[in-house]
Amino acid sequence: MTQNRIDANFQALQARGGKALVPYVTAGYPDLATTGLLLRRLDALGVPLIEIGIPFSDSIADGPVIQGSFHRVLAGGFRVADLFATVRAARPGLSAALVAMVSMSLVRRPGVSEFAQRCAESGFDGLIVPDIPLEESPEVLDAAHKAGLRCIMLVAPTTPDARREQIARASEGFVYQVAVRGITGERDALPDDIAEFVRALRAVSRLPVCVGFGIGTPQQVRAVCDVADGAIVGTAVVRRISEAIDAGHSPDAIAESVTQFVDELWKEVAAA
């Protein structure tokens, strides 16, 4: 079986002492053609992973910027099957691993095994299902494993020590440490205890630890990568897409705006 790209890309980073930047884009925002263009442009920067949020009407952890993008996409008639087709078309030209952030409600619609298989066949490398509790995760973990996907688990700042260890041991690909209490969205400052949480995860897991939620500036990305294996940036990326859409920019101009911002963040990662 071909090595999973998440594993391979992290191994390549670690071999040269590098850290990961994981930009997040909303699938189909403003349309799937632009999503495909964004994937190609971000991949050309050399980022090792790209997270793709699949729009859902009742997302539980997303702040107003990402929720707003979801509502606009869904109003346009978005279909998950069309996203799979877009990823399948883009995949041969991409080196970055692709991770789907998706609600369990969408996973269950076709069936867990069927959804995981469709993800893998289209070119995804991993899944993040943020609204599934640890106790209900074995079904998703098993389906992902059989499809060759990595199922990434989230650890919250409020997660008790024993449960943190259980989640870390169940996770595959990397462990997602949530930086802030509450929903996604840019913050003026990050909590002081991120390094402590990362150390706690490394004590119980050999997987890379990436930190997300609330990270939106080059300085914050560098601070996170000083202590963790990677930084995940979502709202700040999606906000730039929204601003470009509202300004009436073309798909190419939207992609250029996002690429310039992510390139700025990626340079900070390289310097960490």
Residue 40 domain flag: yes
Within a domain: residue 182? no
Residue 166 lies in a domain: no
Query: Which domain covers residue 33, as residue numbers?
Result: 5-151+230-266
pLDDT score for 191: 61
* Catalytic one of 7, 31, 58, 62: 62
* Residue 226 falls in the annotated catalytic set: no
Instruction: Calculate mean pLDDT across residues 224-241.
Output: 96
Question: Is 62 part of the annotated catalytic residue set?
Answer: yes
**Does residue 62 register a pLDDT over 70?**
no
Tell me how far apart the alpha carbons of residues 62 and 72 are, in angstroms, rounded to a whole number.
14
Nearest to 81 by CA among 49, 122, 45, 126: 122
Measured at the alpha carbon of residue 69, what is the angle toward residues 65 and 73, in degrees to the nearest 5? 170
Residue 11 lies in a domain: yes
**pLDDT reading at 188 higher than 60:** no
Predicted pLDDT at 179: 86
For residue 234, give the CATH number of its domain.
3.20.20.70
pTM (two decimals): 0.94
Instruction: Please tell me which residue, 270 or 180, carries the higher pLDDT value.
Output: 270
Q: What is the pLDDT of residues 131-141, one digit of tens each?
A: 999 999 999 99
For residue 198, tell me if it sits in a domain. Answer: no
**Of residues 7, 31, 43, 51, which has the active-site annotation?**
51
Cα separation of 251 and 52, whole Å? 18
- The position carrying tokens 């990823």 is 87
Does residue 96 sit within a domain? Answer: yes
| Cross-strand partners of 177 | 155, 211
Q: Is the pLDDT of residue 122 over 80?
A: yes
Asked if the structure places residue 109 within a domain, the reply is: yes
Does residue 1 surpass a pLDDT of 50? no
Residue 19: partners with Cβ closer than 8 Å, 6 or more residues away: 13, 225, 228, 229, 230, 231, 269, 272
Q: Is residue 12 part of a domain?
A: yes
Mean per-residue pLDDT, 231-237 = 95
Domain count for the chain? 1
Phi-psi region of 17 (alpha: psi -120 to 50; beta: other; left: phi over 0): left
pLDDT digits (tens, 9 = 90+) for 33-53: 999 999 999 999 999 999 999
